[in-house]
Amino acid sequence: MRHRREPTRNRTGWTSNVLNELSELFVDFAATAQRPVLDIGAAYGVATHPALAAGATVYANDSDPTHLAALEAATTAAHRSRLHLFPGRFPQDLDFPAASLSAVHASNVLHFLTGEELTLGISNIRRWLAPAGRLFIQAGTPYQQPFQAFIPIYEERLRAGVPWPGWIEDTRAISSHKRLSQIPRSLHLLDERTLTNLVTTSGLTVERAWTYCRRDLPRSMQLNGREGVGLVATSIY
Ligand SMILES: C[S@@+](CC[C@H](N)C(=O)[O-])C[C@H]1O[C@@H](n2cnc3c(N)ncnc32)[C@H](O)[C@@H]1O
């Protein structure tokens, strides 16, 4: 399928019509899920739709309810009864019973959270996941073409052991990319070390964390093959 980027309606970047490699792992796992799976920042359903098609019950969350309305409208009648919408901002507006979810998917959404929100959010996910439940994260690293000027700052912060080294207070001061108005002023770029620390501290076991260039990343964002970070973790009780 030809990759097509679709702008979000609330200026939180773009979504895609093609599953990225990490989301593909989520969909494969969702096919075997005994309990519902949660898609955080689902947008128009790039991962929710295939997870529904794989037979999962999907809790689709997004901070923009109009995204979820479009997602629901595009859901085939045969899958609607397994789709549940949860509009609201993660982590503040979401809550589920302990051990009630088989999987949580967060693709290209954790950038919009502060360090404090990430700590709260991952600890909540840990509580919501059933034993052997999985967490799937895809996020952008600082190694993307528009953020090149930030790389030395980020690497210096890494050396100095600064918590949340990828936090950019003002993207407009770092980049002059022509589509910058489609992302928020502050952005949290992540990496495998920061994510692994965060997820491990919350009590989940990291199975795999790696950097790569996801297949739907536009050429204008590509830099060196480390543009994205994927992480898969398991809940072991
Ligand atoms: C860049 S899109 C990614 C969509 C999709 N997951 C993907 O991989 O293509 C980010 C989506 O997350 C939503 N979003 C942003 N911040 C959020 C938050 N704190 N909680 C829930 N959704 C959020 C946006 O409305 C948008 O639909």
Digit-coded pLDDT (tens) for 158-204: 999 999 999 999 999 888 877 888 888 999 999 999 999 999 999 99
Q: Of all protein residues, whose CA lies closest to atom 2 belonging to ligand 1?
A: 15
Distance 42 CA to ligand 1 centre (A): 6
Q: Which CATH number fits domain 5-142+190-234: 3.40.1390.20, 3.40.50.970, 3.40.50.300, 3.40.50.150?
A: 3.40.50.150
Does residue 3 have a pLDDT over 80?
Answer: no
Query: Would you state the structure tokens that stand for residue 227, as one six-digit string?
Result: 């543009």
Q: How confident is the model at residue 79 (pLDDT cuts 50, 70, 90)?
A: very high
The tokens describing 161, both together, are: 């052991």
CA distances from 24 to 17, 54, 133, 207, 222 (A): 13, 11, 16, 16, 21
Distance 38 CA to ligand 1 centre (A): 13
Average pLDDT over residues 146-156: 96
Strands (E), the chain: 5-7, 14-16, 37-40, 58-62, 83-87, 101-107, 129-140, 167-168, 187-188, 205-212, 228-234
pLDDT tier for residue 17 given thresholds of 50, 70 and 90? confident
State how far Cα 121 lies from the chain centre.
Answer: 12
Q: Is the CB of 40 under 6 A from ligand 1?
A: yes
Place of tokens 């794989």: 54
- The residue to mutate among 17, 25, 112, having the most atoms of ligand 1 within 8 angstroms of its beta carbon, is 112
Tokens of 134: 């999985």
Instruction: Please state the pTM of the whole predicted model.
Output: 0.97
Q: What is the pLDDT, as a whole number, of residue 184? A: 87
Amino acid at 55: G
CA-CA distance, 61 to 78, in Å (whole number)? 20
Decide if pLDDT at 233 tops 90: yes
Rounded average pLDDT over 130-155: 97
pLDDT at 1: 63
Tell me the CA distances in angstroms from 34 to 31, 101, 146, 205, 237, one per residue in order: 9, 9, 41, 20, 17
64 in ligand 1 pocket by Cβ < 6 Å?
yes
